[in-house]
Amino acid sequence: MPLVHQLDAAYAAAKADPAFQGELRSFLTHYVGRPSPLYFAERLTEHFGGAKIYLKREELNHTGSHKINNCMGQILLAMRMGKTRIIAETGAGQHGVATATVCARFGLPCVVYMGAVDVERQKPNVFRMNLLGAEVRPVTSGSATLKDAMNEALRDWVTNVHDTYYLIGTAAGMHPYPVMVRDFQAVIGQETKDQVLEAEGRLPDAVVACVGGGSNAIGMFHPFLNDEGVRLIGVEAAGEGMGTERHAAAINGGRPGVLHGNKTYLLQDHEGQITEAHSISAGLDYPGIGPEHSWLHDVGRATYLTATDAESLEAFMLLSKLEGILPAIESAHALARIGDVAREVGPGGVVVLNLSGRGDKDVATVAAHLGRTI
């Protein structure tokens, strides 16, 4: 794919250009609202009775999740490359909304591919994208979910590469996307490092994040890679349970393979056909995981746990009641394991949870699972 060579070169040049970095920093400050706070969750800490728990408040970013960090970086790159049309894939619609938002801000036409099944499940986000001026194209091929939306976006890209930029939403896909998305999300870990040093005078014992394609997790992990005392913990979606076939845990329940141009852990059958992921959270519903996570797992630098739908729902309600924060159901997967981590580290320790998004988008899902009508 020669189109990625062009992107690779353009990104390398932008990365090394102080003007590009300065422009990005300015938009992150004034438009996205960075830095996001690092908040000591006192009541959550008391509840579990272990290490001090801090929340990195990515849910307070404009559009309500970490996704916009990456979108801002990539749209500035797209404009620098002279591209005039933006396409993206989305599952839950969070990345689609963030992409539609930056496209509106910079006046670029935006097409978002979304599995037809997800279009049905996530109607409010489809409408939000429309309000922002984006065209949402339902994808009916394959299983009509996130991976198929990604396939369709790739097809559009190879057909229209002369004027079109493909704004991928997670740290997966072919090189240079995993590296580039990680770089744009690494602001999460960098800020966390400074903030925790300021608050505690030391590095945390562990950082914890949910893992779909892996962008919020790798953004949190990356600046700590060389700090060996900091445990890196990712939480995959176990759906209805790891003993069932209905989960989305590529590392815990898959094996290495190649999809979308990169080698990584994948959910697949014994013939190497990609199987569908299942999770209560559409944002974690991807059968793969970014290749850097696969590597961190293989070398043992990061640990990947799982949380089921039910555990995540419970965590969703716990944080709402104890801290007055509705977490995204994706982030609630990380929350579902934070108690175990905090107790393992023990009192006197410090752990940070990346609260990747806010939960307003999920209230209907949560209500449905509680058997309530709203």
Ligand X SMILES: Cc1ncc(COP(=O)(O)O)c(C=O)c1O
Query: Binding residues for other proteins, per CB under 8 A?
Result: 2-3, 5, 141-142, 147-148, 150-151, 154-155, 158-162, 174-175, 256-263, 266, 268, 270-275
| Selection from 90, 142, 40 nearest residue 283 by Cα | 90
Beta bridge partners of 114: 90, 138
Q: In the bound complex, what is the minimum distance in angstroms from residue 255's beta carbon to other proteins?
A: 8
Q: In the bound complex, what is the minimum distance in angstroms from residue 13's beta carbon to ligand X?
A: 25
94 binds, among other proteins, ligand X, none (CB under 5 to 8 A by kind): ligand X
Q: In the bound complex, what is the minimum distance in angstroms from residue 202's beta carbon to ligand X?
A: 27
Two structure tokens written together for 103: 């496209």
Catalytic status, residue 67? yes
Helix (H, G, I), strand (E, B) or coil at 206: strand
Q: Compare residues 148 and 330 and give the one whose CB is closer to ligand X.
A: 330
| Selection from 371, 354, 87, 12 nearest residue 211 by Cα | 354
Catalytic residue among 67, 83, 147, 193: 67
Q: In the bound complex, what is the minimum distance in angstroms from residue 269's beta carbon to other proteins?
A: 9
The 92-131 contact track toward ligand X, x by CB under 6 A, reads: x-xx------------------------------------
DSSP 213: S
257 binds, among ligand X, other proteins, none (CB under 5 to 8 A by kind): other proteins
Catalytic residue among 36, 279, 294, 356: 356
98: phi then psi, degrees, rounded to nearest 5: -65, -40
Two structure tokens written together for 369: 């699972």
Catalytic status, residue 89? yes
Q: Compare residues 139 and 217 and give the one whose CB is closer to other proteins.
A: 139
Stretch that binds ligand X, among 33-41, 160-168, 209-217, 305-313 (CB under 6 A): 209-217
Q: What share of the chain is helix, strand, coil (3-state, %, to 5)?
A: 50, 20, 30
| Selection from 114, 361, 360, 332 nearest residue 238 by Cα | 332
The Cα–Cα gap between 207 and 232 comes to 5
Q: Compare residues 283 and 287 and give the one whose CB is closer to ligand X.
A: 283
The runs of H, that is alpha helices, within the chain are 2-15, 18-27, 42-48, 67-80, 94-106, 116-121, 123-131, 146-160, 177-185, 187-200, 215-221, 250-253, 291-298, 309-323, 329-345, 363-369
Of 357, 362, 365, 366, the residue at the interface with ligand X (CB under 6 A) is 357
Of 38, 211, 248, 274, the residue at the interface with ligand X (CB under 6 A) is 211
Q: Which residues are the active-site residues?
A: 67, 89, 356
